[in-house]
Structure formats: structure tokens, C-alpha cells
Amino acid sequence: MAVSRSERRSGELPRVLVVDDEADIRELVDLTLVRMGLSADCAGSVGEAKGFLERERYSLCLTDMRLPDGEGLEIVRLIGERYPETPVAVITAFGSADNAVAALKAGAFDYLAKPVALDQLRTLIKSAISLPPAQKSGEVSAAPGQGLSAQLIGVSPAIESVRDMIAKLARSQAPVYISGESGSGKEMAARLIHGQSARHAAPFVPVNCGAIPENLMESEFFGYRKGAFTGADGDRDGFFQAAHGGTLFLDEVADLPLAMQVKLLRAIQEKKVRKVGYATEEPVDVRILSATHRKLADCVDAGTFRQDLYYRLNVIELKMPALRERQEDIPLLVEAVLQRICGGCPPVLSAEAMQALSRYAYPGNVRELENILERATALCSNDIVTPDDLQLAAGTGVDGVGSVEGRAGETLDDLVNRVEKQAILDALAKTGFNRTAAARLLGVTFRSLRYRIERLGIEDGAE
């Protein structure tokens, strides 16, 4: 139902500030907002926009990047500093990917490319208007249905910083690259970002990029048409369509082959995908979060990951700390894990067992801590966990200041590499140096194991 100008000025409707020096763009956006039942103020310059911002409070700001008296980035930064509750989206010239990335890095909620597509404009407006209020520090909670295992438990500065960052990232549509070691909680962080965002009611679709055969990647990501290839006995949606309106989490994204990286880059830039067997593309509304335990910049330098895709995925980086970097959180994590494993009557850890856990280096991070406690609860007697029940690997302890116990001169990276190399050698020995079986035993993909073997200089039959 149309809304009159007088009703729009009553202050009862959500207000949107539109900043563009082109009158036809302002009129198009204004008309779209009216039909959506929203109120708009229109400005043609940075100065005029600042005046509106001083007088009114807005549910959204839409600004062009190029203005007569300045740049749209100036408005993005101003709103981020003075009006953080107001999401701001930018309108960029067609093909100006660098401008879009710069705006997202500056704090923009999202971006649109000219010529403005009305369906994408409406989707952006709805997402921004429905954005939940910003959470204060410490208010990050578990994603729906995930329970204790999905909480960011701890009081360390490192985990507090992650909580604050997640709260900020949840109020944006920018692609986020989540870095960190295996087992440090990268998928948990992605779920929390999604769960606190305007997309929380839509699907969260996690994808392990290293677990998909290369010849099936395009059809798995983008879907296919009946008869497109042998075995395609019906139309099928891909991961992008399944995540429409929500979030697509690309775990172990460094494992994507170069040919698939090209297609993924186009899908991200154009916000469209083409099913295998179709001649036309279809629009998709998906936020991309990605992660890998590798250093993605090193993969770019090695030529195994495209630089242009790296810059589109790594608009904002969220670093997940290793467990050894937040050892003060271990007692809280132990309590939470034991409650999840055993319910209301968990066993008691002896003082020596807790001390041993607090001094351990955790090459496998939180995931390894969970495995240690599951094993210990099964082995303990009289509901008391002792150091022997923990079965911690020898030589992987750290003291209170982070120096490696019993390994003079060995850095933490050296320690982790040594433990990882030994685990791989053990798995290879158990499987007769069958790499496929060893990867299965270690719980990693074959491609990931091959990369680790090359990185660590392991040879088949090595002692």
C-alpha cells in the first residue's frame, strides 16, 4: 500500500537517508522505499548528508561513492564513528570491485553496483532494516541449537576480542575470512556471525571444500539441470541456492582447485550463478564466510590460490586464537565440556590433572581438549580423573609464560610442526603408507594430508 508524503514525515516509519548526486537514482530509490512503506530523505552531496545526519536518526543510509564535494567513504566512516547503530550501504560504478572492497573494509553494511537492480535493492533494504540491535561486549551467545559446544567460552583478552569482533561483523554483509589452526573454532565463529546477523532466520550452509571431488565441484556449488551429465536424473540446487538469503560458509577454502576459484570469484562479484546445463544465470543473495587452517596469503604466493579471489574473500579477517594462547580459559572449557559429555554428574579432575591440562600445548586446540576429556571420562576410576587418565603426549607441555618445557631453543611453531609430523608418520606407519587410509585415520582430506606431507618434508617410508 502506498504511503503519502505527509505520513512519511510523521516520524513513525523507519527513515532512510539516500545520498546521490544523480536525481534519477535518488528518485528511483525514493520510489522503491515508498512502495516498501518506508520514509526517505534525499541528499545530493556529502555536506547535505551531514546536515541530515545531525538532525535525524536513520535505519539505513544509502550513498553513492562519487559525490560532488567528496567520497562516499567519508560518509561511511562518519556514520561508523558517530552513528554506529545506522547501517550504511554504498552504490558503486559497475565493475568497481576495488571501491566495493574499500567500502566494506571501512565498515559498510553492503554494496550495490550500477545500474541498480531493484530486486537486489529491495533485498538489501529489507536486510538492513531487520538488522538486530548491536550487542555489547560479552553478550555473544551460542548459535541456536548448538548448546554449550558452540559458545565462545572464556575470559581471556584473546576471546574477548573475538567476541567484540563477531558482534561488529554480524552487523555487516562483508565477506569474512576466518583464520586459525585446526580445532580452534572457526566454524563456531561463522555460526555466531550468522546467528546474530540480519540473515539469522535464513539457512547457514557449511561446506568443506576439501571433501568434494574436483569433477563434482561446479554441480555441487551451483546445481545442475536434468540430463546435464550422466547421473543427473533431475534438476538440483547447489550450495548457493540452498543458502539463498542466508550464509554460505566455505571451510578449507584453500583446497579449492584453481578452475573452481575462477567460477567462485564470478559468483561473488556478480551475485549470480549458472546451473550446469543452463544457458542463463540466476541471482542469489548469499553472504560468504570462509576459513582455512592454512595461511591463505602463503597459498597466493605459492600460486595455488588466486590473488583476486583472496582479496574478495579476505575483506575482513577474524583470527581465532589457538588454545595455548588463552590458557586461562582452560578450566572454564573443561567444566563446560565435562557437563556436555556427562550431564549433571561429571567426574572430578584431580589437582594434578587440571595442572597437566593447563600446561599442555594442545596442537589440536579445543577439539583436542574435547577428545582428551572424552577419553579420560571413559578411563577414570571412582569418578576421579588423574593425569594418567588424560594420556597427554609427552614433550608437548608449556609453562606459564609460554616457553616449551624440556625443549630448549624450540619455538612454538617448531613444536607444533614436530607433533604434526609425528602424528602423520604414525598414521602412515599404521596404514602401510597408504595416504588415503592415513587421511581417513587422521580425520583430514586426502588433499589436506598431501599438502601437510609436502610442507613438512615427509617421504614415504621415512623414519
Going by C-alpha positions, the residue among 83, 122, 123, 89 that lies closest to residue 103 is: 89
DSSP sequence for 364-424 = THHHHHHHHHHHHHHH-BTTEE-HHHH-PPTT-BB-TTSPBTT-TT--HHHHHHHHHHHHH
The verdict on 24 and 101 lying in the same domain is yes
Is pLDDT above 70 for 141? no
* CATH number where 163 lies: 3.40.50.300
Q: What are φ and ψ of residue 319, in 5° steps?
A: -95, 120
Q: What share of the chain is helix, strand, coil (3-state, %, to 5)?
A: 45, 15, 40
Is pLDDT above 50 for 64? yes
The alpha carbon torsion through 277, 281, 282, 287 (nearest 10 deg) reads 110
Contact of 102 with 77, CB cutoff 8 Å: no
Inside any domain, residue 224: yes
How many domains would you assign to the chain? 4
The verdict on 327 and 298 lying in the same domain is no
The verdict on 237 and 185 lying in the same domain is yes
Q: How far apart are CA 275 and CA 211, in angstroms?
A: 21
Higher-scoring residue by pLDDT: 384, 404: 384
Residue type, 310: Y
Mean model confidence pLDDT for the chain: 85
Q: How far apart are CA 79 and CA 423, in angstroms?
A: 50
What is the mean pLDDT of the segment spanning 416-434? 83
The verdict on 373 and 334 lying in the same domain is yes
The verdict on 362 and 416 lying in the same domain is no
Q: How far apart are CA 377 and CA 390, in angstroms?
A: 9
Kindly state the cell numbers that stand for 153. 567460552
414 Cβ neighbours under 8 A, 6+ residues apart: 407
**pLDDT tens digit sequence for 315-361:** 999 999 999 999 999 999 999 999 888 887 889 999 999 999 998 98
Last residue of a domain, one of 280, 301, 319: 319
Give the containing element (helix H, strand E) for 63: strand 60-64
The alpha carbon torsion through 409, 411, 416, 420 (nearest 10 deg) reads -50
Going by C-alpha positions, the residue among 176, 443, 175 that lies closest to residue 320 is: 176
Inside any domain, residue 267: yes
Residue 158: strand, helix, or coil: helix
The verdict on 312 and 331 lying in the same domain is no
Q: Which domain holds residue 433?
A: 412-456
Residue 446: strand, helix, or coil: helix
* CATH number where 432 lies: 1.10.10.60
* CATH number where 362 lies: 1.10.8.60
The verdict on 106 and 200 lying in the same domain is no
Last residue of a domain, one of 319, 351, 377: 319
The verdict on 257 and 348 lying in the same domain is no
The verdict on 351 and 299 lying in the same domain is no
Inside any domain, residue 398: no
Beta-sheet strand order (sheet of 60-64):
39-43, 15-19, 60-64, 88-92, 110-113
Among 105-109, 395-399, 436-440, the least confident range: 395-399
Inside any domain, residue 403: no
- Residue 283: asked if its preceding bond is cis (omega within 30°), the reply is no
Higher-scoring residue by pLDDT: 151, 229: 229
Contact of 174 with 190, CB cutoff 8 Å: no
Q: What is the pLDDT of residue 194?
A: 95
Contact of 225 with 257, CB cutoff 8 Å: no
Inside any domain, residue 395: no
Is pLDDT above 50 for 408? no
The verdict on 283 and 418 lying in the same domain is no
The verdict on 223 and 185 lying in the same domain is yes
What is the mean pLDDT of the segment spanning 246-254? 96
Q: Provide the CA 275 distance to its chain's centre, in angstroms.
A: 25
What is the mean pLDDT of the segment spanning 423-431? 83
Inside any domain, residue 69: yes
Last residue of a domain, one of 67, 96, 129: 129
What is the mean pLDDT of the segment spanning 380-406? 69
Residue 455: strand, helix, or coil: helix
The verdict on 242 and 360 lying in the same domain is no
Q: What's the burial of 154, exposed, middle or buried (CB within 10 Å: 0-12/13-18/19+)? A: buried
Inside any domain, residue 139: no
**pLDDT tens digit sequence for 260-272:** 999 999 999 888 9
Q: What is the pLDDT of residue 396?
A: 60
Residue 122: strand, helix, or coil: helix
Inside any domain, residue 12: yes
The single residue listed with the C-alpha cell 552513528 is: 83
Going by C-alpha positions, the residue among 148, 150, 133 that lies closest to residue 189 is: 150
